[in-house]
Chains A and B, each alone.
Chain A
């Protein structure tokens, strides 16, 4: 993933570099399915 530290939205708006495009594709792939972490601390018996 590219680092955008120090870069502004203005920089980003006009940036069509391959590195940014590739990162966008990577991130869009990451969000394409919701990834949930489901937990259940203290299942049966603990509160009895």
Chain B
């Protein structure tokens, strides 16, 4: 039996960010094999009597699937490769092996295989009859839609069959007659959208019903109204136009591999949320974005995750999952090696998107887009260095990351709006320092030794034990304010002074406004006053570092940004009496 080997060409192209159809095709072949393997694992697991129930067994359905495959292999592949079938398979096996919880009897999980056979038969017109599981009276038929019956037990069953090319389901005396298109009594269709621009079109399911359209456990349907569906249709068309006209390679990849869009609920205070999972190759989850550019970059971002997920199924790029101890510049919490690598690949794509987007003729926000490019480029570069140093990469993983870095080599020559570039540096430096002060913990012995040296007016000992990273679960979302302030300065400078009143700006101080307006000296004075009032304020410590450094060459500023955790801990050890800037300067030697 052959082992799947991704071609060297596909590996290099993926690393360089080329996710076009030839590369996606190789990943899709890998996904097909993987789904077949998961099916076989399901068959083996179904030997457990705990999975048995009042439904045709997996073994019986397997025989039916063999016949359907013999008659129409492409139809079976289409259902097998449906993203949410992957999620269902993964969830069922994970739960069976104790890695997930659920309330449904096992036969309800395993019996979902009967809907796969039903769907494949329906695609081809092959006659087929089965019994399918109902969850709360509902059953999802992949690629088709969801039937709902009233008056069911929590876990129940329905007969289902194909007849004259049509699907029918029955529970008790109620029959759902699935139409060729659209909804019907007891039936919600899985809707799809096709958008086009020039010679390139994209067709995706808009999945608001599949229980496995989320990230792990089954969820209820949340049906979009016709108006909401229409809003998505318009946004997707406009985003597609942007992608085809200005990011053609990204669009070509999406056309080949993006097959399902699952709308997410909005979250107050954030523009857009997006997500994907390696179990559902081809599916992107996204909340309604405010504009087509945000949707376009979200799709570009998530498709990077999909592509890398497909690669990582075939090639080990990290030595195991790793501990959550690494700095990822786009995250407020420490990340494990696998998560860092996914983020690097996604931000490599985001930076590439903004690199091209900022040059779009007639761009209404070129300086803001310069900022997005500068910031995401810096984030990606920094994370690449971290991954190569500490990221637990395999040899192939290191090769992959180096290829990604090489693809960015000529980006240094890009000219940028100077204020946008400076603001990007300020935000990046502030985020790094903010992460360090929240998640890094200096060695207590080192702190005590330094305190003794300070009290005795000696030079600080050079020998310092390394700090440890202990993720603080309370510190997972702390950094939005300064990022928002930088954007406000570029996008709406006339509203800059009111940034603190925005929902995202509540944590901003007057010192932050001074700093981002370029008045580093005033900012330093205000941050120092802030620390006198509250020496526990992480933002005041990092703000002081930023202000000192931006006011001119400053060893104290460098120390505050490089080791804010140590300076704060030492300040606390000294009873809060030392001047923060003086203490940082003393530590810097």
CB within 8 Å of B: which residues of A?
1-5, 7-10, 12-13, 15, 17, 19-20, 23-24, 27-28, 30-48
Looking at A1, A19, A30, A44, the one whose CB has the most chain B CB atoms below 10 A away is A44
Contact call A46/B38, Cβ cutoff below 8 A: no
CA distance A3 to B276 in the complex (A): 25
CA distance A32 to B321 in the complex (A): 12
Contact call B314/A37, Cβ cutoff below 8 A: no
B486 within 8 A of A: yes
Residues 12-49 (chain B) with a chain A CB within 8 angstroms: 29-30, 32-34, 36-41, 43-44
CB within 8 Å of A: which residues of B?
1-4, 29-30, 32-34, 36-41, 43-44, 62, 65-66, 69-70, 89-91, 93-94, 97, 99-100, 215-216, 269-279, 289-291, 294, 297-298, 301-302, 305, 309, 313-314, 321, 338, 342, 346, 350, 368, 480-481, 483-488, 491-492, 495, 499, 502-505
Distance from B508 Cβ to chain A, minimum over Cβ atoms (Å): 11
Q: Describe A's contact surface by its main secondary structure.
A: loop
Contact call B294/A42, Cβ cutoff below 8 A: yes
Contact call B289/A41, Cβ cutoff below 8 A: yes
15 contacts between A and B (CB under 8 A): A1-B34, A5-B33, A9-B39, A17-B1, A19-B3, A28-B41, A32-B97, A37-B346, A41-B294, A43-B480, A44-B481, A45-B499, A47-B291, A48-B487, A48-B502
CA distance A36 to B314 in the complex (A): 18
Which of the residues A2, A40, A47 comes within 8 Å of B274, measured between beta carbons?
Answer: A40
Distance from B148 Cβ to chain A, minimum over Cβ atoms (Å): 27
Known: A32-B99, A37-B302, A41-B294. 18 other contacts (CB 8 A): A1-B34, A2-B33, A2-B37, A7-B36, A9-B62, A9-B65, A20-B1, A20-B37, A34-B94, A39-B274, A40-B272, A41-B289, A43-B484, A44-B270, A44-B481, A44-B483, A44-B503, A45-B486
Contact call A4/B33, Cβ cutoff below 8 A: yes
Contact call A24/B40, Cβ cutoff below 8 A: yes
Contact call B483/A3, Cβ cutoff below 8 A: no
CA distance A46 to B93 in the complex (A): 41
Given A2-B2, A9-B36, A12-B36, A41-B62 contact (CB < 8 Å)? no
Contact call B216/A34, Cβ cutoff below 8 A: yes
Contact call A36/B215, Cβ cutoff below 8 A: yes
Q: With a CB–CB cut-off of 8 A, which chain B residues contact A19?
A: 1, 3
Q: With a CB–CB cut-off of 8 A, which chain A residues contact B291?
A: 47
CA distance A24 to B93 in the complex (A): 11
Distance from A28 Cβ to chain B, minimum over Cβ atoms (Å): 6
